[in-house]
Amino acid sequence: MTFLLNALQLVASGSSDTLLKLWDVSTGNEIDSIKREPSPITTVAFSPDGKLVASTHVGGYANNKILIWDISTGKLVSTFGHDGGNTIGSLSFSPDGKLLVTTNDFNDVEIKDVSTGQVKTRFRGGASLAFSPDSKLLSTGGNDGKVNLYDVTTGKYLTSLVGHNQGDVKVTFNPTGKTLASGNSDGEIRIWLLSDYLKSSGG
């Protein structure tokens, strides 16, 4: 099962039962469910304004595709592919709601325009993804213990934050975008002051 809480206090969940479900946090009640094809859901993501929810699937017609749904109507509004052709493992909207980023089993990262589905840039990154609050930077964490930073517009690699000894690194920005937190599978958490690293990289 995969699930996510948005700013409107709705939870979206998806699992092998192929249902994308929306829940009201205050009551715990299911308020909507969408069934498309016998295609298990692997991950979900809300748009920042809470109007859209995206889901990824494995198997069936929607295999390795991104489906975007209008929450108010339950209707499918867009279908995007992932050129890597492997299972999509992570999915996220940018904070400004204009971009959607995905990564697959081989850590192929694609940044797409939400309105058109056009691929803006692609590169080899990591399994964990996080946008900076201004949507200008993308951080990835992977199995090599590194935290990598990229320019969202160009896909240019900026720098790596090296310090974790173990893999499976997860990443997140703080609300100001000035620091980045990373954590790994052995429980180690590191806080990075980004200005120290971006100056040296020219970012």
Count of CB atoms within 10 A of residue 156's CB?
14
Q: Quick one: residue 119, left, alpha or beta (phi over 0 = left, psi -120 to 50 = alpha)?
A: beta
The pTM assigned to this predicted structure is 0.78
Backbone φ, ψ for residue 200 (5° rounding): -70, -25
Structure confidence at residue 15 (pLDDT): 57
Structure confidence at residue 13 (pLDDT): 60
Structure confidence at residue 73 (pLDDT): 82
Instruction: Quick: pLDDT tens for 111-146.
Output: 999 999 898 988 887 778 899 999 999 999 877 888
**Domains in the chain, please, with CATH?**
1-124 (2.130.10.10), 127-203 (2.40.10)
- Identify the segments of the chain with pLDDT beneath 70: 1-19, 21-25, 30-38, 59-63, 82-86, 200-203
| Dihedral, CA of residue 146, residue 151, residue 157 and residue 159, to nearest 10 | -50
For Cα atoms 132, 152, 166, give the angle at the middle one, nearest 5 degrees.
65
189, β-bridge pairs: 183
Q: CB-hemisphere CA count at 13 Å for 79?
A: 9
d(CA 147, CA 192) in angstroms, rounded, equals 10
Structure confidence at residue 152 (pLDDT): 92
Structure confidence at residue 14 (pLDDT): 63
Structure confidence at residue 38 (pLDDT): 54
